[in-house]
Amino acid sequence: MGQAPKSVPSSVNGWSAEYIDAQYQTYLTDPDSLPSDVRAFFAGFDLALANGSATGGAGSGGGEPDVQAGVGRLMAAYRGLGHHAAAIDPFGAKRPRPDLLELEESHLTEADLDRVVDAESLFLPAGSRLRDVVDRLEEVYLGPIGVEFQHIQKTDEREWIRRRFEEARGKADLDKGDKAHVLEQLVNATSFETFLQKRYPGDKRFSLEGAESLIPLLDALIEHASGQGIDEIVLGMAHRGRLNVLNQILGKTPEQIFTEFEDTWDGDEFVDDGGDVKYHRGYSATRQYRTGAMVHLAMASNPSHLEAVGSVVLGRTRAKQRLRHDTGRKKVAPLIIHGDAAVAGQGIVYELLQLQSLAGYCVGGAVHVVVNNHIGFTTDPADARSTSYCTDIAKAFECPVFHVNGEDPEAVVAAARFAVEYRQRFHKDVFIDLWCYRKYGHNEQDEASFTQPVRAAKIRQKKPVLDVYAERLVAEGTITQHDVDVLHERIAEALDAAQKHAKDQPRDPTIDPGSERWVGLRHGYSFEPTPTAVDRDTVREVCGALGRTPDGFELNRKLKKLIEQRGSLADADPDQTVLSYADAEILAFGTLLLEGHQVRVSGQDSRRGTFTSRHAMLKDAKTSEEYYPLNNIREIGDPNTAHEPGSPGTDGRPRQARMCIYDSPLSEMGVLGFEYGYSLADPDMLVCWEAQFGDFVNGAQVIIDQFITSAQVKWERWTGLTMMLPHGYEGAGPEHSSARLERFLQACGNENMQVVYPSTGGQIFHVLRRQVKRSFRKPLIIMAPKSMLRVPTSGMRDVYEGTFREMIDDPAFEHGGGDRAGVRRLRFCMGKVYHELAARRDAAGADDVAIVRIEQLYPFHIELAKELVARYPNADDIAWVQEEPHNMGAAIFIHDKFRRHLGLDIAYIGRDFAASPSPGSKKMDRHQQEQVISRAIAPEPTKAEEKPAAVARSA
């Protein structure tokens, strides 16, 4: 009996023969680890084998299998396939019934229906007959909830869902008060939509009509969550039904919403082209539920790019969990509401699900609710996806799915409760697929019958869920018709009064978008220098940690020199050029940690650094044990315990903060959205996202355009997120050269972000520290040259005494070393190309050339630019020099600034207009670069005239 019985079919639930054999081996050695139905299944076959009746399999002439084995097979079929025939269609359409649900497929007949069978696993009493089993299976698995869970590989998860669902018979146990509460929510939700349609028929609102059961679903989910230990939920959703959710679930008042329809509010959101449409806005509030529990709800602001907000929700949740010391990830949970077309069609959903179990990104599971109206704008499901369900992506990550009929509000409540309990128990994502419909077209002015005429006709004839449920409660005696009428009258009067107030006394539709953590931070930008220098003793302490490893730790021999060099930085002559970009960055992180600022860095290859420059995490060459030098400067402060950063350690010194650095999955859009969301919660933490190559930022463009560059003016949401983007022309081809600087500059306005291209390590050090030391928060976009990451460009005096400089005058003239009056050619540039220009200028002896660096492109320091130009009164050849093509980089931006604010129409020196960032040939790229340098300074000197490269000393 070492193999599974031969009559076990390989088609049950799609199990392969190999899988069945493996399960049978488990049954033989550890039967208690298997679900009871699986145990019964194999036990029945063993019995049949012992009786000699199952040797030949079905139809082989060897006899029929044991009845109990057939019962096990039938149960397995319903549990695995019942969802296909569940009554979840809101129009009552019968769905195809799988053949395996028929008795004969389990080798059972009508004659067996009165046989007494073991139905303990279905929670049926002893003495139950087969017909009782069938009735119970039909009730549980073919009712208004169709559950998918058999794709989950972990037995404990599958068994928990099975037991919980079957014990509850797929229902919620609601008393009269619960049912009345559900009805009241449906009355409020329906009345709200009806009122808006009547009073504002020309306004888009993306009605919830046809999916009103979303409101009792969310209410039940949150209320049940409060009893499961959750006291804060971060929500994200698109625009369908958003106004209703804001009103009914988050408590945004009708007066506030009607004020937006009336357009009578004169708040700051309308200044400088700010604000956003009403169905994109976020909101937050603390709500008290019937149990008395208080739950804080935060709805993330969301633009029209549907699924993008999910990443923001997850990041914000993770940050809140850290701030709340929620190490078990049980107190703060994310709730993401999708549309059916979007959840199936947008790849970011896969990216986010991939994060659920990763150390740097897990949030303990998200609850996903899909408002499934079976249409995407005008696109039918047959044209929108290749899968049976819009939620089939969940199966790739072994997440359970509860498909529920939106026309059954009590089933909707049950699904919500099942989902919350699963999330809290197993810390995984879970899906609720709410089958409903859309009463109107994509918006209220759209004619749905143009593209879905048959469905539109059915919808026009359909009775609203409110009416159906009210009739049901009246018929069963839960309430009276008078009770229903009173509810309608009460909400109608309240909505009328709210509209009147909105017209006469407008209510601010917004809320303070920050929190107590943002108190004291200004909103506007300032060029006022920020003290960011660090004393030598602090730097020495950081260097000491960077230069040591634990006893017995075997460091890769190729890293020993780097580690020694970093350990000795504080001992170098302050004026000796020893500091590279990579060294400066790691010192900036370390000094911030000692000052109590948490640091989070996330991106592909971030621990080592794509260009082998960072080495924030070291691995033992023999054991692969991980070691983080920056988390071993001092005794560490753990934000998840009482030992906060800054509290005294055992040695009496303040504890340091923690460096959180993660190698992300190969995802740009999802991970950048996550980090943006994370940054919204904590302005005192340096949150960085790093692109592996600068051009990898292309994959995250939606997050940049829809959130990072515009959130300040659209929603008054501030962020100190730092984006670190490798950039520079080094012959690596078009896709590894440009971080698309021009796209960021084109999006600059309203002092919405900072765009910098530092030319030295000292500048990197200060700009990173400045990000959390300023009295305001703006996104920081850093362009950083790949080839110079490990090249010394600064002395340590820059660290001890300096601060970030938006523009840097030519060192050859800045300290009186050169004759400014003799300068005829003035070159403005940025970043890496400065060092090439300075090296050529020095090699050619071109003393009439001055090179000025613009380190911060935006906000552009106009007064400083004027001052720098005035320092060279005889310069009659002023040009902007860049290595990017003319239509890329900063050329167009810089020319506009000089023309409008300085009255100068400066020349351009750089590559011509191009469709691609750079040529694919390294030889051609170097040829073009030489042309740029030669035109800006002088032709390349001959070998006899050539002087040593000045990259290191020219800074």
Closest CA to 792 of 756, 755, 835, 749: 835
Tokens of 175: 């008393």
pLDDT tens per residue across span 554-570: 999 999 999 999 999 99
Alpha-carbon span 12 to 77, nearest angstrom = 6
Residue 63, phi-psi category: left (phi > 0), alpha (psi -120 to 50), beta (remainder): left
Partners of residue 288 on adjacent β-strands: 294
Contact 347, 385 (CB under 8 A): no
Band the pLDDT of 299: cuts 50, 70, 90: very high
Residue 31 confidence (pLDDT): 73
Closest CA to 806 of 735, 848, 867, 748: 867
Partners of residue 827 on adjacent β-strands: 851, 879
Quickly list DSSP for 492-512.
Answer: HHHHHHHHHHHHHS-------
Band the pLDDT of 6: cuts 50, 70, 90: very low
Residue 507 confidence (pLDDT): 77
Contact 635, 651 (CB under 8 A): yes
pLDDT tens per residue across span 815-866: 767 899 999 999 999 999 999 999 999 999 999 999 999 999 999 999 999 9
Alpha-carbon span 442 to 206, nearest angstrom = 7
Number of Cβ atoms within 10 Å of the Cβ of 535? 12
Band the pLDDT of 505: cuts 50, 70, 90: confident
Q: Is the pLDDT of residue 184 over 70?
A: yes
Residue 35 confidence (pLDDT): 67
Phi, psi of 147 (to 5 degrees): -110, 135
DSSP symbol at 149 = -
Residue 642 confidence (pLDDT): 61
Quick one: average pLDDT of 204-211? 90
Residue 453 confidence (pLDDT): 87
Tokens of 214: 């979303």
Residue 746 confidence (pLDDT): 97
Cα–Cα–Cα angle for 295, 298, 304, nearest 5°?
Answer: 150
Contacts of 21 (CB under 8 A, 6+ apart): 3, 4
Alpha-carbon span 227 to 237, nearest angstrom = 24
Contacts of 466 (CB under 8 A, 6+ apart): 183, 186, 187, 189, 190, 212
**Cα(first)–Cα(last) distance of the chain, in Å?**
80
Residue 445 confidence (pLDDT): 74
Contacts of 173 (CB under 8 A, 6+ apart): none
Number of Cβ atoms within 10 Å of the Cβ of 22? 13
- Cα-Cα-Cα-Cα torsion 639, 645, 649, 651, nearest 10 degrees, comes to 140
Closest CA to 140 of 169, 111, 115, 113: 169
Contact 790, 582 (CB under 8 A): yes
pLDDT tens per residue across span 781-804: 999 888 889 999 999 999 999 999
pLDDT tens per residue across span 228-261: 999 999 999 988 899 999 999 999 999 999 988 8
